[in-house]
Amino acid sequence: MKQMMKNPILLCTFLALSSGFFGGLITAQVMVTLASQKCQKSPNTIWGFTQICHTWIAPAAILQGSTAGIWTGTVLGAFVGGLMVRKPM
**What is the value of pTM for the model shown?**
0.75
Mark 58-78 as b/e (b = at least 16 C-beta within 10 Å): beebbeebbebbbeebbeebb
Whether 68 and 25 have beta carbons less than 8 Å apart is answered as: no
pLDDT given at position 2: 55
pLDDT given at position 24: 92
More confident residue, 89 or 70: 70
Most confident listed range (16-20, 58-62, 82-86): 16-20
Name the average pLDDT for the chain. 84
Taking only the tens place, the pLDDT of each residue in 18-46 is: 999 999 999 999 999 988 888 777 666 67
